[in-house]
Chain A
Amino acid sequence: MIVLWTDALIYLLVVTSVVFAWYLGRQQHMRRPLKKIAASPVAMASLTLLLCFALIGLADSIHFKDGDSRGNEAVSLLDVACDTMRKHGEKTYSAPFAVHGYAKETLALDDGSTRWDYPRLQYGGAHLADPETEWAGDVFDKTLSGFSRGAGLMLMVLLLAWGDQHERRRVLWRSASSKAVWAALFLVVSGCYTLFSLSAYYHVLGTDKVGEDVFYQTLKSIRTGLVIGSLTTLVMLPLAIVFGIMAGFFKGWVDDVIQFIYTTLNSIPSVLLIAASILMVQVYMTNHPENFNNLLVRADMRLLFLCLILGVTSWTGLCRLLRAETLKLREMEYVLAAQALGVKPAMILFRHILPNVMHIVLISVVLDFSSLVLAEAVLSYINIGVDPTTHSWGNMINSARLEMAREPVVWWSLTAAFVFMFALVLAANLFADSVRDAFDPRRAQAS
């Protein structure tokens, strides 16, 4: 097993969030908001989707040496699961479910003559003898059978849950939010099952310029998206929160210094900083080749540094928001009362200010998440984003610039990246919304 730097950080993140969730569940006064989240169908369905994304990302974060390939390339659990997709590469572009290539080329026929035509794909629909007549029926058959097997599996689980005689669990299974969870799970599982079983025969989302399966790329991109979203946030949050509320609360010279830092940082074009630090990492890796003997390790290092530097350049906006909010909160009477009671400043910050700015943090983190994924795409454009060998939605969108200019248009890379990003960001938004509502005691009363 190989543990990359980002892998280690992801494990750490998972462990921390599990411990945190467990701790929250044990707190008596936290149970009500948690129950409120659990009772909201939208929140639970979004959470299910998010967990599915996280699960795929996690599967992609368990790396080990590939047994049958030469060299020291590492593969992840996801690679193993998508083995056929990974290895069934075509020569170049092909449309979703295509059996022929997307561009004409000179074909050498059996009788020695040549013809200018669309070539058959090496793997996509290779099992069909006569694509013209069999294709539609075959796709329909395989979709149906894949779907029915996935759906059947879920139905069996559902039936087991439904038939449960235990009174308390029955109530649990049949609440509105658990129905939403089941519906979301049903859709995700049967959908995935269908796509997976189809992808053994076809490229369900087509192939890209070098013939790699786009569905596989999209799945691999989930990890990159999650890493950039979560690790960058992890770097940015402490900086923004600590500096923001300190500047707002203490005012005076502390405020001056912090304001000076973030205005300075803001006035340097962030692209410049990012380019510089990425170049630094490149140079370091070239000088110490013994530590970076593997393509994956190098790409991973670059991803990690990208997260770090994105975090360092993106905390200023949130910091300014928090400073302004803290300036308002510190004049509130409950802060004055705490001061009159002799509560130490650190405690006031932690107990009175921080919980009351958390809604801003939550919203801006979720909104930043999507802009971070996009920032990665922009940076890839000037070659300082993630490593070109790393699969990412940014890279896919970036390459789509040229693909959209082609005639006929290659639309599937962009569409696939868009749909997956959209699902992830929307689910995160909806979930964050209900978390914010549930943890605001004033809102809890209104509904």
Chain B
Amino acid sequence: MKPLLSVEHLSVSFSFQNKVVDDISFEIRSGETFALVGESGSGKSITALSVLRLLPNNAQMQAAGMVLQDRDLLKIPEIDFCRLRGRRIGLIFQDPMSSLNPVMTIGEQVAEVLNIHFQLAKDEVRQRVLELIKQVEIPEPERRINEYPHQLSGGQRQRVMIAIALAGKPDLLIADEPTTALDVTIQAQILDLLKNLQQQTGMALWLISHDLALVSNIADRIAVMQKGKIVETAATGEFFRQAKHPYSLKLLAALPKMESCLDRVAQNKPPLLKVEDFKVYYPIRKGIFKRVVGHVKAVDGVDFELHAGTTLALVGESGCGKTSMGKGLLNLIPAHAGRVLFDDIDLTQLQGEALRKQRAAMQIVFQDPFAAMNPRMLVGDIIAEGLRALRSDITRPLMQSRVAELLQQVDLPADAALRYPHEFSGGQRQRICIARALAVEPKLIICDEPTSALDVSVQAQIIALLKELQKQQSLSFLLITHNLGVVAEMADEVAVMYRGKIVEQGLVEQVLTQPRHAYTKTLLAAVPKLQSTRKH
């Protein structure tokens, strides 16, 4: 059978750089789901863009052949290519918020595609828009088409993006990390939707993702990309049964495993942090005098205990208040009510200098290692910042030796101190952030999604580093995350947060294997699992 899309010997390079895509060939058959998997920077998005001829201006592309059905994509003039994009090939991007125009209603944005590619009368267009919105399962389509993107939830926005991509009735739908910006439960819904749509329309789906578990549930064939090369292509079942290439094996091994929590023993240690009826409210102010007219209840009465030398994971979807809780505990945002007992000191009562001194005991590592460091400071200064602030008596050579020691602890070379953050990769930057937190010798580190911006293999390294540090220095971690795999790898106890409240709390094995609360059950069900593990 003739493939729908075949690409032969495609190479893309940017000026003065190595090849981003290096001589790859693949084909997509009509009606199948083809997944291109790789870590960030492996060139998977660039491959998709080069097929659509949407590469940035400074990119150079060579290809021996690129054929969509019977048309040679390399020979089509640009003016005809415009009619091809959106009509024969649809595209969905990662971030649904920035892909939609905020000043157009979603109905208009769907209709835009129809008007470009089809000659339709006005009421026919409306009819078709409603049909499409219905097709992507958005409730109340008549009302929704007159709404603006900001009035929709993240999942609904992604549905609108899919509707736009479907409007041209494409033969091939390219989905570039379609669910990365979404919560797990929403992710499961979107994937179901994509699967259904594919069965209805018979189009081919080209899925680009970094998530092997997700891919294993939906793809027919998988291609693994590493540093611009496709290292392995195989049917999904075969791939997960016996991957051949060492890199594929490495990727599979790096995936956090839910089973790893099974043998964890409960530890009996004294409580380090005790939180009672903790509340963080954001006031809503109105009028000239900024009167408080109401509150957004981000954290609404939370109790938990964290034991010394253990890890408590705080799990929940975006918007459930877990990050507000982390910042509230550190007094970075004011708490509304409640008590935070840390070593029997109530942190909420501390003020001014006493609070500043107490900060050394509790540190935070943020999600995005790119935003977490001042781009204009040297790494050495970044790490030494806490020492400078809290130990005014420390001498310069002493500080330098401490910085070197910290760099060594997080496995970075000593000369890193004189370099800027942007010279490091994401994983290395997260190590620097950890070193910065360790500098003041804290007892507790709040890790706010410490690995969600990182690739799986790097994620595994960071988790290993955190575990190692915990063993050496008997640190406690409050792990804030949405990734249940990471929880299973790291946590001793789990608290599940839903709409500002903790709905379930217990030992990690108990919560992950025998969830009691309905929300925990949905959450666990939505987590994509490797096919092979499902078969056990």
Interface residues of chain A, those whose CB is within 8 Å of chain B, are 28-29, 332-334, 336-344, 347, 351-352, 355-356, 439-442, 444-445
- Chain B residue, CB-CB nearest to A353: B374
Q: How many residues from B make CB contacts under 8 Å with A?
A: 36
Known: A338-B389, A439-B376. 6 other contacts (CB 8 A): A28-B418, A332-B371, A333-B366, A341-B363, A352-B377, A441-B421
| Contacting pair B373 A334 (CB below 8 A) | yes
Say whether B327 faces chain A, with CB atoms less than 8 Å apart: yes
Complex: how many Å from CA A440 to CA B422?
11
| Contacting pair B356 A344 (CB below 8 A) | yes
Say whether B368 faces chain A, with CB atoms less than 8 Å apart: yes
- Known contacts A336-B366, A342-B357; is A356 also within 8 Å of B375 by CB? yes
Say whether B282 faces chain A, with CB atoms less than 8 Å apart: no
Encode B152-173 as 1/0 by CB contact (under 8 A) with A: 0000000000000000000000
Say whether B360 faces chain A, with CB atoms less than 8 Å apart: yes
| Contacting pair B356 A334 (CB below 8 A) | no
Minimum C-beta distance from A28 to chain B (A): 7
Minimum C-beta distance from B500 to chain A (A): 21
Determine which of A341, A352, A442 lies in contact with B436 in the assembled complex, contact meaning CB atoms within 8 Å.
A341
| Contacting pair B372 A337 (CB below 8 A) | yes
| Contacting pair A445 B423 (CB below 8 A) | yes
| Contacting pair B389 A356 (CB below 8 A) | no
| Contacting pair B359 A340 (CB below 8 A) | yes
Complex: how many Å from CA A352 to CA B374?
6
Encode B356-386 as 1/0 by CB contact (under 8 A) with A: 1101101110111001111111100010011
Minimum C-beta distance from B326 to chain A (A): 10
- Known contacts A340-B330, A341-B386, A343-B385; is A442 also within 8 Å of B375 by CB? yes
| Contacting pair B330 A356 (CB below 8 A) | no
A352 — which chain B residues lie within 8 A by C-beta?
374, 377
| Contacting pair B389 A342 (CB below 8 A) | yes
A337 — which chain B residues lie within 8 A by C-beta?
364, 366, 372-373, 433, 436
Say whether B390 faces chain A, with CB atoms less than 8 Å apart: yes
Say whether B394 faces chain A, with CB atoms less than 8 Å apart: no
A355 — which chain B residues lie within 8 A by C-beta?
374, 376-377
B364 — which chain A residues lie within 8 A by C-beta?
336-337, 340
Minimum C-beta distance from A154 to chain B (A): 36
| Contacting pair A334 B389 (CB below 8 A) | no
Minimum C-beta distance from B332 to chain A (A): 6
Complex: how many Å from CA A336 to CA B375?
14
- Chain B residue, CB-CB nearest to A252: B290
B375 — which chain A residues lie within 8 A by C-beta?
356, 441-442
A343 — which chain B residues lie within 8 A by C-beta?
385-386, 388-389
- Chain A residue, CB-CB nearest to B376: A355
Complex: how many Å from CA A29 to CA B420?
9
Complex: how many Å from CA A334 to CA B327?
13
Minimum C-beta distance from B461 to chain A (A): 21
| Contacting pair A333 B357 (CB below 8 A) | no
| Contacting pair A334 B374 (CB below 8 A) | yes
- Known contacts A341-B363, A352-B374; is A445 also within 8 Å of B422 by CB? yes
B439 — which chain A residues lie within 8 A by C-beta?
341
Determine which of B363, B367, B418 lies in contact with A29 in the assembled complex, contact meaning CB atoms within 8 Å.
B418
A347 — which chain B residues lie within 8 A by C-beta?
389
Complex: how many Å from CA A334 to CA B421?
12
Ranked 6 nearest A-B pairs via Cβ: A341-B386, A342-B359, A333-B372, A441-B420, A343-B389, A342-B356
